[in-house]
A and B are shown apart, each in its own frame.
Chain A
Amino acid sequence: MSEAIMKLTDVLQRDLHTIQSVANNAANTVTNGYRAERNFSAIDGVQPGLISAAQTIAISNHEGAKAITQRPLDFVIVGDGWFSVKTGEGIRYTRDGHFMVSNLGILTTQSGHPVLSDDGEIALGDETFAMNMNGTLETKSGVSHQLRIASVAIKDLATDGLYAGDEIGINANAKVMQGALERSNVDVAQEMIRMMETTRHFESVQRAISAYDQMLNIGINELGK
C-alpha cells in the first residue's frame, strides 16, 4: 500500500538534493576558481523501476572568465590544468590562483596550503620574482621553480575550496598568466532554470502524493460503507 508513496518520497528527496546543488552553485557565483556541480541519479540496475539511492556529482569543466587584478601573486591557468597543492590528506588541486607568501616564505593558497612546484614547495622568501607563460617562477637571485600543473579527472570536493581527483599527468604545455584570476564558471541562467524546473516538478509530485492519499482515503474509509 505504501510502496507508491515511498517511491514518490524518494523522488522528493532527489529534488531536494537538486535544490541543494543549485544553492551551492548560486552561493559560489563569486568564488574564484569554482567549478559548477550537477547532480545525477541513476536507474537502479538491481530492481527495475526503482531509482538508485546513490547520487553522483559531476563537476563542470568549463573555463571561467578571467579577471585582471594586477596583483603579482594572482595566477590563472589558461586552458586545461590545475595547480597542485599539498594538504594533510595528499595532493589536492585548485584553479583559484590567489596565492600568498606565508611568514616562512613559502608560496601558499589563501588558506595556507603550500603550492607545489615540480620539486616540492616553493620557497620565495621576500624576493621579487618574474613568471613566464609556462609557469616558471624565477626569483631575483636566479632560483627557478616550475609550477606543477596537472591534468586531473576531478572526482570530489576537498576542504578550503580545493578539489580532489585522479591525476592523469603533468601538463607540460600549460599557459599561466600573472596578475589575473579565474572567476566561477557557474551559468546563472542554467541554475535559475534548474531551480524553476525542480520547483514545479516538486509541486507535481506533491499533487501525485495528495491524489494517492485521497485514493487511499476512499479505499479505506468509503468503500464498504
Chain B
Amino acid sequence: MIDAIEIASSALRANQTWLDTISHNVANMQTVGFKKANVQFVNLIRESAAGNSQEGEPAVRAGAGIRIGGTYTQFSDGAVRTTNQPLDVAIVGNGFLEIVLPGGETGLTRVGALRVDADGRLMCRSGWSLQQDIRISPDVEAIEISAEGKIRGKVANSTEVLELGEIELARVAQPEYLQDVGEGVFKLTEQSGDITLHKPGEHGTATLLQGHLEMSNVDLVEEMSNLVIAQRAYQLNARVLQTSDQLLETINNLRR
C-alpha cells in the first residue's frame, strides 16, 4: 500500500517508546539514586529502485521512517538531600558502591543508604551487601565518614577514636552503557568496561557526603518539554496516517 503508512507507524511506535521513557523518568522524580534515561532516534532508509530510470545509476535511497537508536542512562549528579542519618552517604561525582546481588553477581549502585546488620557488617538498607567487608560493632557510636571514605567511631564511654575502615568507590570506563536493572542497581555490560576501585577523591573519583542522600537527577523542565515534543510529534504522525488513509479511500473511489 502506501509507504507513508509504514513510515508513520514506525514514528508512532518510536514516539510511544519515548513517552514511556519520559513517564518512567517523571514517576521516579523522587526516587533516591535514580538516573534518568534518554532516547535517541535514527533515520531509516531503503533502496528505491523506481527512483531513477537511467541505467547504471545507483538506486535512489528513500526514507523509511525512524527507529530508536538507543536508550541511554544519563549519569549527571542528582540533588543532595539532608537526612542527618550517620550511615547515609551521598556520592558526589563519578563513582558507585560495589554491591553483591543475590546469586553472587556484582552490581553497582548510587544509593548510599547504609546500615549495620546483626553481625556488625556494613550493608545497604535495601538488603544488598557491600562487596567490601567493613565491620562496625554495635557499641560504637558517633560514627564519622569523611569525604575520602574513612570511617571513624568512638566506643561508648571512651575517648579513643577507632579507625573502622575505608569505603572504596567503583568506577567503570563507560557508565552510560551500564544496564539499569531497577531498584537502584546497575549491572556491568561488555561495553561499560570493568570495575576499577578508587579511593574517594582520587583521580576525579567522587567524594562522600555523610548525613545526606542523592536524589534523582530528573529535571522536571526537561521532561515536560520532551513530553510536549513527543506528544506533538505523535499527533503529527497520526495526522500523516489519517491522510494516507484518505488517499487510499480516494484511490478506491477512482472507479465507482
Interface residues of A, Cβ cutoff 8 Å to B: 12, 15-16, 19-24, 26-32, 34, 37, 53-55, 57, 69-71, 98, 100-103, 110-111, 125-126, 128, 156-161, 188, 191-192, 195, 199, 202-203, 206, 209-210, 213
Contacts and interface: CB of A to CB of B under 8 A. Distances in A.
Interface in B37-83: 38, 40-43, 45, 51-54, 60-66, 69-70, 72, 74, 76
A206 B42 contact: no
The interface centre, meaning the residue of A26, A102, A157, A210 with most chain B CB atoms within 10 A of its CB, is A26
B41 A32 contact: yes
B180 interface: no
Interface string B171-200: 001101000000000000011010000000
B42 A210 contact: no
A206 B40 contact: no
A202 B8 contact: no
The interface centre, meaning the residue of B8, B43, B63 with most chain A CB atoms within 10 A of its CB, is B43
B15 interface: yes
A210 B64 CA distance: 32
B146 interface: no
Given A30-B41, A31-B43, 5 more contacts: A24-B62, A101-B174, A156-B61, A192-B236, A210-B255
B42 A23 contact: no
A126 B174 contact: yes
B237 interface: yes
A34 B63 CA distance: 11
A23 B238 CA distance: 10
Contacts of A100: 72, 174, 176
B254 A206 contact: yes
Given A23-B244, A30-B18, A126-B174, A157 B45 contact: yes
Contact of A27 (B7, B52, B174): B7
A185 B14 CA distance: 19
A83 B21 CA distance: 29
Contacts of B45: 157-159
A23 B65 CA distance: 8
Contacts of A111: 42, 69
Nearest to A9: B254
A20 B247 contact: no
Contacts of A161: 42-43, 69
